[in-house]
Structure 1
């Protein structure tokens, strides 16, 4: 079975119920394992078996109920933006024309009702508003009805259509009601004003929603369109799409860097704040890495392209943010269920309202009943519910990205607030991850042994290997050919040379080989990480490696303690080294000599104590624990495996970003709860008022026009509340 996961832009959805309709339809197709529609960013995520179905089938199904699915991967996002811009312009134009007709209509209804033929004039003024400028409501409602569905357009179309048709009847046949002693009221202005207010609400909602995705637009805007490539010493301008790995790219003062690479000539300071959230520019010299989207400052340099197109760090950040903004928080599942039955329930309530008025009211029962039914249809709004969670998630994820905190999905953003225990790896997490050889003792002065050591470490993926290689490079030691290289997980590496097996690793490896390590030598290297080099019979060298603690590690750990979070350090290092680092940064609980399985088991142990555990690491040996933790956090300068497994990535590898991520989670969840409260309370209070609950008590009956304005503002208020996250 060939399972694929893809996300497609959806167009023409006008409310949360539309999203539910699309989701249910696609979910029902053969071969679809899972379908999720995000109304806020207008996207459909599908997990499907490509042997049984295809994007073309999804598109056909979605089009059949009045929407569209953009399946051209290359141009889908751009096409969706163009469609949204055109729809926005069309909506604004219809709104202006609707206002031009509605203003005199309301004036006649309020001040000139006794004017001859006033009803006929209002009929003529209202007809274009309802059926021309507001025709999309009726078209969409009809498309939904064909498939047995209903959405917000259904509510608007029914309410305004009924009010308008009732008014037409009363205009042409007033005697029918007069003969029964009932005044034949008309509601042409009500139908027109409701259409106008709903359109105003949609316009404001679209404008606000576009602001929630501003982080993505800013990130995309960081990508320059062209690069300057050096070919035989000549400067040649290329489109970014033509860039190839290995190109020598010239970056001048003030220019944006277009692709990822390694500096080969020159030096400068580069502003990387848009990628990692750090305000200070970073010095770039020969051998330094540079990333797409960052800005060169005063100097100029040449770099060799290493990653282009979709493989650059910026492209991956954009992709991750888009996926996260399109994901759903656990609470959204309940909201989706409510939104799915919301419109049918409102339709039933509106009918019940009408008949209750007919049965129990005496004077003007039909007129009041109809007005109350229309008001119930108008005031009910599933959009506020549908927007409550995803808009907050979009803004939260976007804000995180702007600070160098990449959040992979909505669930992680929601879960981070519950963290009460954090496990930190040492190397590259608490320390800089830039180890250097601090001291060494050799028991054999054969120069060939250093070549063997360098060859072994050149094949190792452990971050400490680089320190040994750099030290041996400074001595001009060359690599030699070794055979049968093998990585011994959590212990070290081994390989064969001239019928002998050589080992490099920790004291745990030496214990396995039953090789004694001199106690006095170990004591001399107390605070350093100790690496042993040996054969299977004798010790060749002891190397002490120092790895500086990051400047802000101590402060970051104090900030975590201040949040009431227990901090643990797990390391594969020796007891002395682990103790020295833990004491330096203020960590009480630490574990040394930890294998990857030990780290995972420690996560399980804390979870068994009902703790919500976050694991922070940067290496392959952390990946098991990262996968097991409730929230997994990777350092951006760590291994690809760690970053792939983790749900949150700190691009700058700054530990203090963990505190920021937890605070962002708390802020986002608080906004979601506020949004859901107001969305629910709005409907809980609004619908009974619209039905006329207060009429028997004080004669109050809600005007449909006010209901229309309230409905429009409910969605806008939810989106606006989410946007507060940007400034909190």
Structure 2
């Protein structure tokens, strides 16, 4: 007997009796779920060293029900994972393991909502994260988790580190199951061709028996391995008195398989193992497509604030102390230096400096803030030492409020998903009822169990949602493939349909329509100057304005020489000064020049631009006007989008004058400027109230809240990681033209999907009565099912031909 030691209690057991936990690398083995639960608890609390200290000592295995029922109610567990709402209710985020379709989400929500004391349940299908709110005086968390496990799923506190690992494991599992199904289907179809030919032309019984057995060998792993997901879903659906699509697929495939076994051994009827493999594999392919195109199972909210410090420097008289952000009180004085990120909202008390506000406002140029100006969390200090007074706590600051609003937005579920879940239940119940009525009728009419069973199986097989299931995934697969070739990545197949129904496109300005970096568009040389000096000074600063000037000089001047700067000094929030070859150089904004006694007069063409002034030995010699330039083909792409009948709106955190110029250049009539992230989100919600269905395109952290409020969120590939995570569609080539491609592909795909669904419904309306009347045997039911699938696939291929004209 092979034995192995339990990784918790260290007692030895037969390896066949141990539980293997693949969440760990290498996998861990446990003698019972109690040991497994305690090991998980110690690991989550960072107490893994317990086992090093334990050495070879053995333990008494814990009682399984104690771990299942009690650890979730322990004070340490509650303080770490459970938070209180403003109403005094308890709230937790759980990962529910085992969800493989939208019906699973529906089932969990239905069952949990029945529990007394559970106030709210919302499960995000894309990452399986559940938000549960409950009254702790009525029901305990342990009971909630036991309920989830009782219906066949597992639940544990949300852990962002293990999310991607679980998603990859699921993809690998589905991939291996699909490979088995495809291999079996391809081979069984060749055998079926021989079977069908022999049916009409005659075939020796011994050859037929060999082919039947070969089909049996191929159909068995397809049904019980590839189709295991349907058996599991059907079992737990029945356990909770719900009939799902899983039950219909499992029933049709199983009855066909059982009857084929009977036919193979008795030799009294035809076998239909080919139908078994086709039913399971075709429907499973649609599920695999969903798994491949799911969003990353990472927590967007963690990514939002992952780069923020957990401590800040608080000034107490002449003393400075580090204080955790959660402990900072209103009125505390906080000091930040160049490179520090603002965590708490406040008002500047001493100093002035440039702040990168791109995370909040999308401002392409740093903003100069002085004493008395408001400072928002999420800003980045670029070049000075600032002291400011906290006006909010950490929990009520801008960035934290954005996270809270985003969490609420992500928990909303589209109505179409709820409707689809209800429809699938009705469809499954109806088909099973019709099949049962058919069996009863024919058994009473003919008195033959075999005849009644054949006709009933024909109803289930011919009505099996093969064509219905393929109607969407095949068309979307074609659409997704074409979109990917054009630099458009849809994270879920269903987003094609959602996008096609939208009538309004909201565009962020910076990084979406424009390049996101200021470039020189106007230059005025007041006195003769060596551009090598300008290039040297501009290269000494990482400020976006300086870098824009540096790029411009490098591109337009061919006779640049290397210059060495001396005594380089950064003037806080104003610019840079240095000595070079005996000359005193200054480069920066108007305030810097005015303080040095240099007069700056701007001509009209500079008024809507950002400015960079360059002076030599106290004389102004050059002025540069900078603007964030349009992306290539932005104007033509927006004209094409308007031709599709879309209403286009541009939102920006930039000044109105700058925003107006960009809007005019690309031909957008409706725009809003100077908006903060929550104001962008409010604008999206206002459009919703007007009945608009909105697609939002953006690229920065400042856009994520608005993105989450839209039906479809589109991120530019070069955007911030958080924008990519919260988005539904990614434009990998950063091209506005790809937006047009995405709309055309989604609309064409939806049109084909509707045609496929119409055909599938018409097919069922015609064929189900024929099957019920006994005019179609399972053999021809399988053939007609295959034919309907081929028609759906062939119609989906039309998308390629139509889109070639793009």
Q: Does TM, scored on the shorter chain, surpass 0.5?
A: yes
Q: Alpha-carbon deviation of 1:22? A: 11
2:778 to 685, 704, 709: 704
Q: Alpha-carbon deviation of 1:559? A: 0.9
Q: Residue 484 of structure 2 corresponds to which residue in structure 1?
A: 401
Q: Residue 610 of structure 1 corresponds to which residue in structure 2?
A: 691
Cα 1:478–1:569 change in 2 (3 A) is farther
Q: Give the Cα–Cα distance (whole angstroms) in 1 for the partners of residues 257 and 705 of structure 2.
A: 59
Q: Does 1:47 align with 2:121?
A: no
Contact 2:663 2:671 in 1 (8 A): yes
Q: Give the Cα–Cα distance (whole angstroms) in 2 for the partners of residues 167 and 408 of structure 1.
A: 45
Q: Alpha-carbon deviation of 1:679? A: 3.0
Contact 1:667 1:725 in 2 (8 A): yes
Structure 2 alignment gaps of length 5 or more: 1-80, 82-91, 133-140, 155-163, 239-245, 295-412, 527-533, 555-559, 578-586, 592-597, 615-619
Q: Alpha-carbon deviation of 1:586? A: 2.5
Q: Residue 636 of structure 2 corresponds to which residue in structure 1?
A: 555
Residues 48-105 of structure 1: per-residue CA shift (max 9 Å, x gap): 6999899xx9999589xxxxxx977777655654554344334545555566667556
Cα 1:58–1:123 change in 2 (3 A) is farther
Deviates more, 1:95-104 or 1:604-613: 95-104
Cα 1:94–1:647 change in 2 (3 A) is closer
Contact 1:620 1:639 in 2 (8 A): yes
Q: Residue 383 of structure 1 corresponds to which residue in structure 2?
A: 466
Equivalence map 1:461-540=2 (5 Å): 464=545, 466-467=547-548, 521=602, 523-530=604-611
Cα 1:343–1:543 change in 2 (3 A) is same
Q: Residue 155 of structure 1 corresponds to which residue in structure 2?
A: 252
Q: Give the Cα–Cα distance (whole angstroms) in 2 for the partners of residues 138 and 720 of structure 1.
A: 26
Structure 2 SS opposite 1:521: coil
Equivalence map 1:314-325=2 (5 Å): none
Q: Give the Cα–Cα distance (whole angstroms) in 1 for the partners of residues 611 and 787 of structure 2.
A: 65
Q: Give the Cα–Cα distance (whole angstroms) in 1 for the partners of residues 189 and 789 of structure 2.
A: 18
Q: Residue 196 of structure 1 corresponds to which residue in structure 2?
A: 274
TM-score when normalising by structure 2: 0.51
Q: Alpha-carbon deviation of 1:550? A: 3.5
Deviates more, 1:552-561 or 1:396-405: 396-405
Q: Residue 714 of structure 1 corresponds to which residue in structure 2?
A: 788
Q: Give the Cα–Cα distance (whole angstroms) in 2 for the partners of residues 708 and 369 of structure 1.
A: 17
1:354 to 409, 425, 439: 439
2:752 to 644, 664, 671: 671
Q: Residue 769 of structure 2 corresponds to which residue in structure 1?
A: 688
Contact 2:545 2:626 in 1 (8 A): yes
2:712 to 620, 631, 648: 631
Cα 1:59–1:397 change in 2 (3 A) is farther
Q: Give the Cα–Cα distance (whole angstroms) in 2 for the partners of residues 167 and 555 of structure 1.
A: 65
Contact 1:202 1:712 in 2 (8 A): no
Cα 1:708–1:456 change in 2 (3 A) is same
Q: Does 1:89 align with 2:189?
A: no
Cα 1:668–1:481 change in 2 (3 A) is farther
Q: Does 1:545 align with 2:626?
A: yes
Residues 273-323 of structure 1: per-residue CA shift (max 9 Å, x gap): xxxxxxxxxxxxxxxxxxxxxxxxxxxxxxxxxxxxxxxxxxxxxxxxxxx
Q: Residue 649 of structure 2 corresponds to which residue in structure 1?
A: 568
Deviates more, 1:146-155 or 1:629-638: 146-155
Contact 1:9 1:76 in 2 (8 A): no
Q: Give the Cα–Cα distance (whole angstroms) in 1 for the partners of residues 262 and 481 of structure 2.
A: 47
Residues 216-240 of structure 1: per-residue CA shift (max 9 Å, x gap): 9xxxxxxxxxxxxxxxxxxxxxxxx
Cα 1:466–1:333 change in 2 (3 A) is farther
Residues 472-494 of structure 1: per-residue CA shift (max 9 Å, x gap): 999876896879x8xxxxxxx68
By relative contact order (CA 8 Å, sep 6+), the higher-ranking structure is: 1
Q: Residue 289 of structure 1 corresponds to which residue in structure 2?
A: none
Cα 1:478–1:410 change in 2 (3 A) is farther
Q: Alpha-carbon deviation of 1:366? A: 7.3
Q: Give the Cα–Cα distance (whole angstroms) in 2 for the partners of residues 531 and 572 of structure 1.
A: 21
Q: Alpha-carbon deviation of 1:440? A: 7.3
Q: Give the Cα–Cα distance (whole angstroms) in 1 for the partners of residues 524 and 97 of structure 2.
A: 54
Q: Alpha-carbon deviation of 1:27? A: 9.7
Q: Alpha-carbon deviation of 1:676? A: 2.7
Structure 1 alignment gaps of length 5 or more: 11-15, 37-43, 64-69, 110-117, 172-185, 217-327, 443-449, 486-492, 498-502, 508-516, 534-538, 693-699
Contact 1:456 1:494 in 2 (8 A): no
Equivalence map 1:63-212=2 (5 Å): 77=171, 80-93=174-187, 96=190, 104=198, 107=201, 128=213, 134-135=219-220, 150-159=247-256, 161=258, 188-189=269-270, 192=271, 194-199=272-277
When the two chains are superposed, the root-mean-square deviation of aligned CA atoms in Å is: 6.1
Q: Alpha-carbon deviation of 1:648? A: 2.9
Q: Alpha-carbon deviation of 1:557? A: 2.0
Q: Alpha-carbon deviation of 1:691? A: 0.8
Q: Residue 447 of structure 1 corresponds to which residue in structure 2?
A: none
Q: Give the Cα–Cα distance (whole angstroms) in 2 for the partners of residues 718 and 612 of structure 1.
A: 29
Q: Give the Cα–Cα distance (whole angstroms) in 2 for the partners of residues 196 and 723 of structure 1.
A: 25
Contact 1:201 1:712 in 2 (8 A): no
Structure 1 SS opposite 2:776: coil
Q: Alpha-carbon deviation of 1:665? A: 1.8
Q: Give the Cα–Cα distance (whole angstroms) in 2 for the partners of residues 210 and 628 of structure 1.
A: 28
2:503 to 398, 411, 420: 420
Q: Alpha-carbon deviation of 1:707? A: 1.3
Contact 1:212 1:723 in 2 (8 A): no
Structure 2 SS opposite 1:634: strand
Contact 1:98 1:129 in 2 (8 A): no
Structure 2 SS opposite 1:435: strand
Contact 1:454 1:472 in 2 (8 A): no
Q: Alpha-carbon deviation of 1:666? A: 1.0
Contact 2:715 2:731 in 1 (8 A): yes
